[in-house]
Amino acid sequence: MNSEIAKILAMTYAEQCKYLQGKYGLPKNDYFYTEECKSKHKDITRTSEGLFIHHNAEWFHNGGNLGHEKLARTYPFEFQKKENLTYCNYLEHLVFHLRINARECPVFELPYEIRYFFNSRGFFFISQEMNDLYYAKGSKTKWRNDCYEVIEPLFEDYVSVLKGVLCFLDDNYIGDRNIKITKGMTLYSDDYELNKRSKSIDDIRSEAEKRIEKRKTTVGDIYTRCIERCKITIADIIPEEDKVELATNGKTVERNLSLFSYEYDYNAIVENYTMAMSALYDKTVWRKLFERLKESFTEEDKQVSRWIKEMTHDNSFVII
């Protein structure tokens, strides 16, 4: 593995921010001109050097891109200050979002909880862009090609990072890997359809603020969701109709049996996310990458998994 990528993987989130800020320098200005977050400073763009801007505060909220105007306005403007921004290339950016994901989900008790690990959509957004660039060996769009040229020599490191993610899932799944759905059994679910309720923008903002405060003092929790996990009982199974009836909160809810079973199938979920990490932007799977990710874990993959685990518990990160 490239020594620079190995060095970064062995850092905490706070150390990676500080290291890359020293390596590339700070932006000339804040991300947005004003607290209304309507217009981005143009002189902070460095894609011609293969660099993007990462918002450090995504470590706290992990729900999306803090460079998006609408989302940015729901959080403190301090998040947009230049001292809280870090330049990084594609692979360095992916590692940032890998850390965010691992912080939210360091351990998994049920198969469907693996999807919480990928709650930072930035992870898939970045990896799919990288897949497209590696697959096409560049881009006709100049700024994208500039960014590709920086990571072009790092393909094997990229594969090792993705395999390290799969190894991390395998190492930290502590539940039953062969859950068989039977009538009368009790399970846990946080399905939105079972716990549906509407929320106003004020509710969302309030929940966001609570999450920020919580994550300043608490690390290593399984992702705390707005919709609470609830206990369910398998009331009835009708295979010929591909239907399962779930008893929860004093009511019975019907679900598609095959889809419900999938949520509790560890191997199927890991396979699905392996395909997702191998996806191109047209939603097809890049078979070459998929087959690489399906290979047995190497010692390097296992080391990446250990780094992901060990560097997750970071209480040192603060917003300046």
Question: What is the H or E stretch that residue 281 is in?
Answer: none
Predicted confidence (pLDDT) at residue 236 exceeds the cutoff of 80: yes
Q: Decide which of 238 and 115 is more confident.
A: 238
Taking only the tens place, the pLDDT of each residue in 149-197 is 999 999 999 999 999 999 999 999 999 998 999 999 999 887 655 654 4
pTM: 0.86
How confident is the model at residue 103, as a pLDDT?
A: 85
Q: Residue with structure tokens 């060996």?
A: 137
Report pLDDT for 317.
84
pLDDT in tens, 55-85: 999 988 765 789 999 999 989 999 999 999 9
User: Would you state the structure tokens that stand for residue 200, as one six-digit string?
Assistant: 């106003």
Give me the amino acid identity at 111: P
Q: Mind listing the pLDDT tens digit for each residue in 243-253?
A: 999 998 778 88
Mean pLDDT calculated for residue range 246-271:
92
